[in-house]
Chains A and B, each alone.
Chain A
């Protein structure tokens, strides 16, 4: 199938990249290790074999002083050397960020605008292309087979989810005459979150990046919800915010107490969406990494304790991973459902 083909092509692409070697790491620090995995980075660390880091370099795109710079992250040699007046910081306030340096090697106060294809950005692009290939292919199957023939296995894999989103999320929340207008967006949203969540659970490349566990990603998704809700709002929706019906007049005049609360409510909705998704996914990753770290913490104390706890840790990790599998679906469901409800509220007729 095409997915297998696409995957193998992508794998080949990256196998062709130079793998970089670097210096050894100090003692095991679980907090740092977990944060390094959770946070975004400019290269894709795959494994450390002995004292050699194996990682995939990612493109660095910077805008500094009106000029555009593009090069691969391998030029930084994991932050050990500057390149074109830029430095990847490993310590301090700017840890993990790229700063501009002058010829003396001093950090300039003005930070470059970093539009690099980071690990998460790369994952995003990967998920997006995966989704594009999957759904364009499915739509081709649908077009070829039409509505008369029974669905193929591939269709049967995706169709129940599409129908679930349509019938149990969108049709429940949005007035029926607007369903067709918002369905494409909500389906895209659902599958995008779902695939990001699931890919985050795959422990090796190209999975493993916690895309939806990054606040920037969920912020953007929540902003889309906010913008769509606000743009979709009908007269009733805005009137209810400014002049809530059924409330006593002194709540609105002279101090607009209720309108203020309503406005806060409108702003809170996307914020809550953002935090819920980000926190859920990040928490799952932290728990799994924490459980795995336990093996190495105890292993550093004594080898026997390390081996002893490993069975327990693996068992728990398996359990949490399965839980995360459910969470991946539930969070995609909740985000889409709440977005649908907000749109539905914005489109509700006066009751």
Chain B
């Protein structure tokens, strides 16, 4: 029976001891311990979230870099492509112009040759005419000397002219 009948003295001392212990610890121990623990937890949580943020930023930065690089590459490609085009165009144009110049020069040359040819023909005609006149003159002078010879000469001259056409 004594096992389960609380002793008044012990009840008194337990109450007193426990209450005093609680008040002392509440005043001197728990606030510092608990607040430090909380502080540390907040610090760790903050550090973790900061690290997470930094990682996120790094990722963002990386993505930005990637994007910039891609854009740069695209621009580079574009510039190269345009350069190529321009080169082709320039070459084409130059070729065209050269052809035109060549054609023009050729035409000019042809015209000049034609003109020269015509002049030469005229000159030749004149020369032939002059030669004819000279021959005619010679014949006429021979005729005075020999009638037969004269005839033969005319004949030969005519033959020559006919053979030569000119």
Contacts and interface: CB of A to CB of B under 8 A. Distances in A.
Interface of A: 35, 38-40, 61, 95-96, 113-118, 120-121, 124-125, 128, 131-132, 135-136, 138-140, 142-143, 146-148, 159, 162-163, 166, 180, 183-185, 187-188, 192, 214-217, 219-221, 224, 282
Interface in B92-151: none
Contacts of B26: 184-185, 188
B39 to A, nearest CB: 4
Given A120-B10, A215-B6, A220-B11, A184 B21 contact: no
A38 B14 contact: no
Listed residue (B3, B10, B17, B20) with the most chain A CB atoms within 10 angstroms of its CB: B10
Contact of A219 (B11, B17, B28, B33): B11
A147 B33 CA distance: 10
B43 to A, nearest CB: 6
Nearest to B24: A132
Nearest 7 A/B pairs, CB to CB: A216-B6, A147-B39, A135-B29, A216-B10, A147-B40, A121-B13, A220-B14
A125 B12 CA distance: 12
Contacts of B13: 115, 117, 121, 124-125
| Main DSSP-derived SS at the A contact region | helix
Given A135-B30, A142-B36, A147-B39, 13 more contacts: A121-B10, A132-B29, A135-B29, A139-B29, A142-B33, A143-B36, A146-B36, A147-B40, A162-B34, A184-B34, A187-B30, A188-B25, A214-B7
Contact of A38 (B3, B12, B25): B3
Contacts of A115: 8-9, 12-13
A139 B11 CA distance: 30
B50 interface: no
Given A124-B17, A184-B25, A184-B26, A114 B8 contact: yes
| Main DSSP-derived SS at the B contact region | helix
A166 B33 CA distance: 12
Contacts of B14: 121, 124, 216-217, 220-221
A104 B2 CA distance: 28
B21 A216 contact: no
Interface in B22-68: 22, 24-26, 28-34, 36-37, 39-40, 43
B75 interface: no
A128 B2 contact: no
B4 interface: yes
A180 B38 CA distance: 11
B32 A118 contact: no
Contacts of B36: 142-143, 146-147
Nearest to A149: B40
Contacts of B28: 132, 135-136, 139
9 contacts: A118-B10, A124-B18, A132-B25, A138-B29, A142-B33, A159-B37, A216-B11, A219-B11, A220-B18
Interface of B: 2-15, 17-18, 20-22, 24-26, 28-34, 36-37, 39-40, 43
A135 B31 CA distance: 11
A80 B8 CA distance: 24
Given A142-B33, A147-B43, A162-B33, A184 B10 contact: no
A333 B93 CA distance: 96
A134 B7 CA distance: 29
Given A113-B8, A115-B9, A128 B32 contact: no
A132 B31 CA distance: 14
A162 B28 CA distance: 16
B2 to A, nearest CB: 6
B23 to A, nearest CB: 9
Contacts of B43: 147-148
Listed residue (B4, B33, B39) with the most chain A CB atoms within 10 angstroms of its CB: B33
A135 B25 contact: yes
A185 B27 CA distance: 11
Given A39-B2, A184-B26, A192 B32 contact: no
B33 A138 contact: yes
Contacts of A185: 22, 26
Nearest to A42: B9
A160 B16 CA distance: 29
A128 B33 contact: no
Listed residue (A40, A162, A188, A224) with the most chain B CB atoms within 10 angstroms of its CB: A188
A224 B5 contact: no
Contacts of B4: 215
Listed residue (B20, B26, B28, B29) with the most chain A CB atoms within 10 angstroms of its CB: B29
